[in-house]
Chain A
């Protein structure tokens, strides 16, 4: 069978890439090994609870203000009326376990600056500069996005001077240069776990664009869990006559003369296309799906040079009391030993590190679970392969229980609540669970570590040069926009448009 494009994996990137291409009149085949779509952007049911599998808060989609890059993307793809979104009225609540500090930050740039001044006197000036810088960065990124690789350096120099300056620096470095007080820098860096790299490593531009979107536009969540988002995209794809096969695994990508030709699936069928978009890891593609001697040297070098990013652990709790009864006032609880991200990053190489993000979904969507109940999920990250070194078939169940027990105890201590007595349902996802569902190497959920030359801008700048096999593209967290819902959605769009561009230009 012949298609214009084949998309491997119906995660966020794969879904958006499929729909974008289909809407542009291409004949697309979407292949997914599970019986539903979304990858980890889905939900699952235990008892009377439907648990969100992965979404904490969407970035770049303001329901109220009707803007943001994901908002625009959904609008362009006719998805807006198919999803019901809810803006969240806080950015984060952060707790330092060791220093017994807590900070709750609001949405809105003014509010955010003022609240910071309350917590950290004399931070106002630097915070104001920070948000000015954010605005410039947003404009610069928009410019880069709009000029599709044909960047005019003079424009950058004149209009986006500050962007150019901070483009090659870490978050920490730029905040220092703004003479932001240390405490304010630490509080401002709370979201570092979302990008999976400490403030000394994460690109300032990347972090700034994310936090600016949260603070300015509000974080957002879909009323019927992220599964609603995935299903909206998928059903729109089907409605546009896209073809999809679920429960179908790709066993091989056919490459000849350094050009992609098609794929072979687990049921032994061959499908041909000149464009193949892989919403799976390059490790899997180059290590398993393409014959060894057909993987270009540079593709091997690039893949071998990269470091795997965060592995995830998630404890999903269905509680038989309301958030008020439990004393849970906030939506998200970022719990760290200290607010020093570099220190915490190192600590999170150990299995038992106590750091986590807790989300009380009912505090944004009250009917996310039955009346009088609460869904709380606690997510932890691991920045090493420690889990695979410890886990084996004989200790796996015990390990899961021990991890969950510790998460619950630490959360209770940090928030001074009693969760244990209210647990009606519990499920635990480990790196093994994520490895099982995504087939990502070592169960990573954030793709590659965002570090130095593997940060957002270097990936974006070299993306054309790194298309080592003609017609083969990557979408999703391992690709050029890095991890996160908004980034993976955008990666799908970007790669689809690129593939069209290249095809048109031949």
Chain B
């Protein structure tokens, strides 16, 4: 076969000219410095800033054990966020950097500040510091917003049943406020479980929203208090089955044992996965097997050996030892702390580890507990 294109003969010159033509175009192009000022790349920094310096502009006492901190940016406004997302707060204390994630409880409409609502955690170094020592006008660095515990109108039902355990109310509060501010559009029914009435957070505002906004309703369930006004006990199958399966998306937010409790109920009710979203947090576990192992941490620059206990996540041990390891969500979901297990046995949660990463023993140290001496390698 000999190809002919139009009337053109084989033209060696034309082939060679491919390069010459390119050269010509370059030579006739303008010589100004190359600009790297793309609008979209600048928007990245506005929507996803690497960090935000904030000042505590106000502290609101919610109840005996809970305070809301109003965080104002030192410069400009806060990035837009989806109700249900969280931020990571850097806390410097005793020469340590503690990082903790907190759901934003304020409305996405208000970008002058974010609010985070913190409840006292038994033995919680950071929560105790925030509740007892932090004063107005103190400055902090935050990261985020992050997280996928948000409403999506394409995926979720128009009716959402929020199942809340304790301080899990904070992202749900943001969702309720977003509905009331007409940023989100769906019907939200909240079942809010707490030990006692006095521990409920945002009760006044929730009641107000429920009475004035027909898209929002709220029910309280108290586990440790007899009440003639509220339901008592744990959130039960009977309470949930009032809401028809397939018509509701369930947004579960609370401590991990609360999530396990509800999962049993969902199983009994045959709720498909599609309808269940969750945002869990771990409570500091206390008085577990306090068996000591050593954790060797390899970074690019050094190797550090520190103690680590069986009831303590590797991330936590590194935090105690002041090793600046990546950490973010602290519940094994976001993947930011991804590290390689070099040796040793661990108990871990692999739900959010990529299949290929499992081939090479990658783990999330924030949900990994040592069962022997352990060596890990950090991302840098």
A residues near B (Cβ < 8 Å) are 35-36, 42-48, 50, 129, 132-133, 153, 156-157, 161-162, 164-169, 173-174, 177-178, 224-225, 227-228, 230-232, 235, 243, 245-248, 282-284, 286-288, 292, 295, 297-305, 320, 385, 387-389, 391-394, 396-397, 401, 404-405, 408, 420, 422-427, 431-432, 435-436, 439, 441-443, 452-454, 457-459, 461-462, 465
Chain B 13-62 interface residues, beta-carbon cutoff 8 Å to A: 14-15, 17-19, 21-23, 25-27, 29-36, 38-41, 43-44, 46-48
Q: Is the CB of A432 within 8 A of B10?
A: no
The answer to whether B211 has its CB under 8 Å from any CB of chain A is no
| Closest A residue to B40 using CB positions | A388
Residues of A within 8 A of B152 (CB): 401, 426
B residues near A (Cβ < 8 Å) are 1-6, 10-12, 14-15, 17-19, 21-23, 25-27, 29-36, 38-41, 43-44, 46-48, 79-80, 82, 148, 152-155, 272-274, 300, 326, 335-336, 338, 351-357, 359-360, 379-380
CA distance A286 to B23 in the complex (A): 19
Q: Is the CB of B148 within 8 A of A231?
A: no
Residues of A within 8 A of B29 (CB): 301-302, 304-305
Q: Is the CB of B80 within 8 A of A391?
A: no
B4, B19, B356 pick with most chain A CB within 10 angstroms? B356
Q: Is the CB of A408 within 8 A of B43?
A: no
Q: Is the CB of B40 within 8 A of A432?
A: yes
CA distance A462 to B26 in the complex (A): 11
Q: Is the CB of B34 within 8 A of A393?
A: no
Q: A177-B3, A301-B29 are in contact. Are A458 and B19 (CB under 8 A)?
A: yes
Chain A min CB distance to B175 (Å): 14
Q: A35-B326, A231-B360, A248-B380 are in contact. Are A461 and B36 (CB under 8 A)?
A: no
Chain B min CB distance to A114 (Å): 20
Q: A43-B354, A225-B354, A396-B47 are in contact. Are A387 and B40 (CB under 8 A)?
A: yes
Residues of A within 8 A of B33 (CB): 287, 292, 295, 300
Q: Is the CB of B154 within 8 A of A401?
A: yes
Q: Is the CB of B379 within 8 A of A246?
A: yes
CA distance A225 to B32 in the complex (A): 42
CA distance A443 to B134 in the complex (A): 41
CB < 8 Å: which of A227, A299, A396, A458 contacts B357?
Answer: A227
Chain B min CB distance to A80 (Å): 15
Q: A426-B154, A461-B18 are in contact. Are A391 and B273 (CB under 8 A)?
A: no
A-B contact pairs, 7 of them (CB 8 A): A177-B6, A235-B360, A304-B31, A423-B274, A424-B155, A458-B19, A461-B19
CA distance A385 to B43 in the complex (A): 13
| Closest B residue to A389 using CB positions | B39
CB < 8 Å: which of B11, B44, B359, B379 contacts A35?
Answer: B379
4 pairs of A and B residues whose beta carbons are closest in the complex? A287-B36, A305-B29, A388-B40, A228-B356
Q: Is the CB of A303 within 8 A of B17?
A: no
**4 new A-B contacts at CB < 8 Å, known A225-B355, A228-B359, A298-B26:** A299-B34, A405-B154, A424-B274, A439-B41
Q: Is the CB of B34 within 8 A of A50?
A: no
Q: A168-B14, A320-B273, A401-B152 are in contact. Are A284 and B44 (CB under 8 A)?
A: no
Q: Is the CB of A435 within 8 A of B44?
A: yes
Q: Is the CB of A167 within 8 A of B18?
A: yes
Residues of B within 8 A of A173 (CB): 5-6
Chain B min CB distance to A386 (Å): 11
Residues of B within 8 A of A396 (CB): 43, 47, 80
| Closest A residue to B33 using CB positions | A292
Residues of B within 8 A of A47 (CB): 273
Residues of A within 8 A of B25 (CB): 305, 453
CA distance A35 to B378 in the complex (A): 9
B2, B5, B82, B153 pick with most chain A CB within 10 angstroms? B5
Q: Is the CB of B273 within 8 A of A162?
A: no
| Closest B residue to A169 using CB positions | B5
Residues of B within 8 A of A157 (CB): 12
CA distance A422 to B380 in the complex (A): 40
Q: Is the CB of A388 within 8 A of B300?
A: no
Residues of B within 8 A of A439 (CB): 41
Chain A min CB distance to B149 (Å): 12
| Closest A residue to B360 using CB positions | A235
Chain B min CB distance to A297 (Å): 5
CB < 8 Å: which of B1, B356, B359 contacts A133?
Answer: B1
Q: Is the CB of A303 within 8 A of B34?
A: yes
Residues of A within 8 A of B336 (CB): 35
Q: Is the CB of A408 within 8 A of B154?
A: yes
Chain B min CB distance to A371 (Å): 12
Chain B min CB distance to A211 (Å): 17
CA distance A292 to B248 in the complex (A): 57
Residues of B within 8 A of A133 (CB): 1, 3
CA distance A161 to B3 in the complex (A): 8
A48, A156, A165 pick with most chain B CB within 10 angstroms? A165
CB < 8 Å: which of B21, B155, B357 contacts A231?
Answer: B357
Q: Is the CB of A393 within 8 A of B355?
A: no
| Closest A residue to B339 using CB positions | A35
Chain B min CB distance to A233 (Å): 11
Chain A min CB distance to B364 (Å): 11
Q: A401-B152, A404-B154, A423-B274 are in contact. Are A441 and B47 (CB under 8 A)?
A: no
Q: Is the CB of B5 within 8 A of A177?
A: yes
Q: Is the CB of A301 within 8 A of B27?
A: yes
CA distance A284 to B41 in the complex (A): 11
Q: Is the CB of A247 within 8 A of B354?
A: no
CA distance A43 to B355 in the complex (A): 9
